Amino acid sequence: MTPVPVITIDGAGGTGKGVVSQLIAKKLKWHLLDSGALYRVLALAAQKHNVSIEIENESALTVLAEHLDVQFVAVALGEFPRVLLEGEEVTNIIRTEKTGNSASKVGALPAVRSALLNRQRAFRQSPGLVTDGRDMGTVVFPDADVKIFLTASPHVRAQRRHNQLKERGIDVNLSDLVEELTERDRRDQERTVAPLKPAMDAVLVDTDFLTIDEVVEKILSVVKQKI
């Protein structure tokens, strides 16, 4: 039996991987895994259950990860799902910079990452999966059919994040954002387990001068050649 096809889209925050993955999943009518959302929900669960995110609490956080009661409710294949933690709507709360930072901290703990591995692999369902994250092509789906790694300069990424937040009515300082993104990158790249880096067989796409549609087109042309 041939395995269900997978397209992995990895990269740092602000490279556009979230929206690009969603558009590709929608176009192909495949499932979508936003792995960052899992780490974000776990960070929120830790806050809810008063477990602070530090190395000393790795086993408590691992237990939380193993029992994480999270639901992704998609209206249709490839659509961004609503996210529920213990039955409670957290779709918007998980998107704040604060939760992103806590997600990066909780994601630096090796036992927590292992606890979330099978949960992520379970998203591999017919007719196919598009998945976005940091280690999708390197660790979670090393046998993926197409691996993409998106890049963009820190300034462009901060500007995109700034626009995104502004659209949601959240006004943040641009230079604070550059600083936060750089700090988060450093943590994601330097962690010992599953650091943010391209898989050996990933196709690198620099998105600095490309629109979202152009990035999607580029990836779809790679998909056409390989699948």
Closest separation between CB of residue 186 and ligand DC, Å?
Answer: 11
Which position among 31, 184, 207, 215 is part of the footprint of ligand DC (CB under 6 A)? 184
Residue 135, SS3 per DSSP: coil
Closest separation between CB of residue 65 and ligand DC, Å?
Answer: 12
Please, which residue, 119 or 218, has the CB nearer to ligand DC? 119
Closest separation between CB of residue 69 and ligand DC, Å?
Answer: 19
Which position among 8, 21, 22, 104 is part of the footprint of ligand DC (CB under 6 A)? 104
Angle, CA of 215, 91 and 110, to the nearest 5°: 75
Q: Does 107 bind ligand DC (CB under 6 A)?
A: yes
Given a contact cutoff of 8 angstroms between Cβ atoms, the answer to whether 17 and 132 are in contact is yes
Per CB under 6 A, contacts with ligand DC among 16-45 are: 35-36, 39-40
- The residue at minimum Cβ distance from ligand DC is 36
What kind and span of H or E run contains 72? Answer: strand 70-73
Which position among 5, 16, 78, 100 is part of the footprint of ligand DC (CB under 6 A)? 100
Q: Does 134 bind ligand DC (CB under 6 A)?
A: yes
- What b/e readout covers 112-131, taking b as 16+ CB neighbours within 10 angstroms? bbebbeeebeebbeeebbbb
Closest separation between CB of residue 224 and ligand DC, Å?
Answer: 26
Per CB under 6 A, contacts with ligand DC among 50-89 are: none
Which position among 5, 13, 78, 137 is part of the footprint of ligand DC (CB under 6 A)? 13
Angle, CA of 58, 93 and 44, to the nearest 5°: 15
Residue of 158, 116, 105 whose CA lies nearest to 140: 116
Q: Does 133 bind ligand DC (CB under 6 A)?
A: yes
Please, which residue, 62 or 104, has the CB nearer to ligand DC? 104
Given a contact cutoff of 8 angstroms between Cβ atoms, the answer to whether 185 and 12 are in contact is yes
Given a contact cutoff of 8 angstroms between Cβ atoms, the answer to whether 137 and 6 are in contact is no
Given a contact cutoff of 8 angstroms between Cβ atoms, the answer to whether 20 and 161 are in contact is no
Q: Which residues contact 36 (CB under 8 A, 6 or more apart)?
A: 18, 100, 103, 132, 133, 134
Closest separation between CB of residue 74 and ligand DC, Å?
Answer: 17
Which position among 103, 146, 205, 219 is part of the footprint of ligand DC (CB under 6 A)? 103
Phi and psi torsions of 151, nearest 5°:
-130, 160
Stretch of 59-67, 103-111, 157-165, 215-223 contacting ligand DC, by CB under 6 A: 103-111
Positions touching ligand DC (CB under 6 A) are: 13, 35-36, 39-40, 100, 103-104, 107, 133-135, 184, 188
